Amino acid sequence: MGDENTLAIYGGTKTISKTFSPYNSIGPEEKNAAVKVIESGVLSKFLGVWSPDFFGGPMVQDFERQCEAFFNVKHAIVVNSWTSGLIAAIGAIGIEPGDEVIVSPWTMSASATAILHWNAIPVFADIDKKTFCLDPKSIESNITPFTKAIMVVDIFGCSANMKSIMNLAEKYNLKVISDTAQAPGATYYGDYAGTLADIGGYSLNYHKHINTGEGGILVTNDDAYADKLRLIRNHAEVVVESKGNEDLTNMVGYNFRLGEIECAIGIEQIKKLPKLVEKRQKVAERLTAGLSGLKGLQLPFVESDCSHVYYVYAMVVGTKLLNISNEKIAEALVAEGVPGIGTKYQNIHLLPMYQKKIAFGSKGFPWKSEFCKRDVDYSKGICPVAESLQDDFFLSFGISQFDLEINDIDLIIKAFQKVWSNLVLLK
């Protein structure tokens, strides 16, 4: 057997030999709810015409009312994916072809492609090095006469600096969409993340805090936006005449409808959200307490009077201070048996689509079109914080992947401490 004090990467005994249970928020309540829907025979009740069934069946409407009550918003609209939700949100705020929307590069690709969907132009601002959310200073430096909206991403489980961002929106007459896919249940000075923007919302994808397999929840306190979101969700172009809507802006409708089974599951999931969040926070707080003394390791930042729900436990390694790469540290942690370790996330402005400016067709549309007002820069260097994190400094633990108990966290802490005690050998 290897020496337990020697790093496993060099032949020592692994700190963690067990396999952690995968995260699973689904229980008998969801099973029973789904069975009732199946037995009813009504798996969906949406009709793409103006009628009582335009709004979906009883489970859809019940789930929406439950979400409105939970998030304390006037309107909740469920959709078949959060990508669909982002597309609907951009359309609902009245974006025109060629309009610019500021967005984070440090996010899932759909945050930006939802903008492109309406032939608008994504403009990437840099992120804050503590929260990984959009930096208000970088947002303001990227505002042009053509900017119409800001896509805020509440990444990893915490809210962006919404006070500053909403002040910018008011100053420059901009709309704000909050992509809170990863932070349902997080709070920002007493309000739920995602509810302070003109339109916000959450993902129900299978690895999120609550899930229906696939799905999304849009939230807004604006009646007109809610109306447009429901229309875009369900074949708007067919419905507007009968409904009496005269504004045809972006009334290109889709089938973004969520089914009755998923909504029945969602009703049970939303009831569990507070306890699921509380457990995740306790696990993360213990991890933070155990790692707080490690040299050169920046742990997740939580602003006073706000909360974090830890979709990802995101860290920054002081690689220059330690004179060792984040990749080498990650390799050593994995060898010790720590699962879910990563050193990369996203720099979506560097994807081929943006580097070559080819999206729809092969001729550079929408960038090379009469309504694109200027040559938008996507070159490496425009988002130095996000780029340096991706290249050199980021370290993450996929806390949302596992159903962790306190003993599991103590093992992870022990593995980190062992690696840090042997950093000289890793150089």
Q: What is the DSSP string of 267-312?
A: HHHHHHHHHHHHHHHHHHHHHHHHHTTSTTEEPPP--TTB----SS
CATH number for the domain spanning 253: value is 3.40.640.10
Is residue 425 assigned to a domain? Answer: no
Residue 97: domain span: 28-269
Do strands 147-153 and 100-103 pair parallel, antiparallel, or not at all (unpaired)? Answer: parallel
Strand segments, DSSP code E, in 136-206 are: 147-153, 175-179, 187-188, 191-192, 199-203
Is residue 205 assigned to a domain? Answer: yes
> CA-CA-CA-CA torsion for 19, 20, 22, 23, nearest 10 degrees?
180
> CA-CA-CA-CA torsion for 157, 163, 164, 170, nearest 10 degrees?
120
- Tell me, what's the pLDDT at 253? 87
Is residue 16 assigned to a domain? Answer: no
Tokens of 131: 């929260």
Do strands 394-397 and 313-317 pair parallel, antiparallel, or not at all (unpaired)? Answer: antiparallel
Is residue 253 assigned to a domain? Answer: yes
| 412: Cβ contacts below 8 Å, ≥ 6 apart | 16, 287, 290, 338, 397
- Measure the CA–CA gap between 361 and 4, rounded to whole angstroms: 58
| 370: Cβ contacts below 8 Å, ≥ 6 apart | none
Tokens of 245: 């809507």
Q: Amino acid identity of 247?
A: D
- Tell me, what's the pLDDT at 243? 95
Is residue 310 assigned to a domain? Answer: no
Is residue 415 assigned to a domain? Answer: no
Is residue 136 assigned to a domain? Answer: yes
Q: Residue with structure tokens 């390791």?
A: 297
93-to-89, 175, 249, 384 alpha-carbon distances in Å: 6, 7, 9, 30
Q: Report yes or no: 178 and 85 within 8 Å, Cβ to Cβ.
A: no
Q: Number of folded domains in the chain?
A: 1
DSSP summary character for residue 392 = I
- Measure the CA–CA gap between 205 and 231, rounded to whole angstroms: 23
- Per residue of the chain (427 residues), what is the pLDDT tens digit? 467 789 999 999 999 999 999 999 999 999 999 999 999 999 999 999 999 999 999 999 999 999 999 999 999 999 999 999 999 999 999 999 999 999 999 999 999 999 999 999 999 999 999 999 999 999 999 999 999 999 999 999 999 999 999 999 999 999 999 999 999 999 999 999 999 999 999 999 988 999 999 999 999 999 999 999 999 999 999 999 999 999 999 999 899 999 999 999 999 999 999 999 999 999 999 999 999 999 999 999 999 999 999 999 999 999 999 999 999 999 999 999 999 999 999 999 999 999 999 999 999 999 999 999 999 999 999 999 999 999 999 999 999 999 999 999 999 999 999 999 999 988 8
Is residue 34 assigned to a domain? Answer: yes
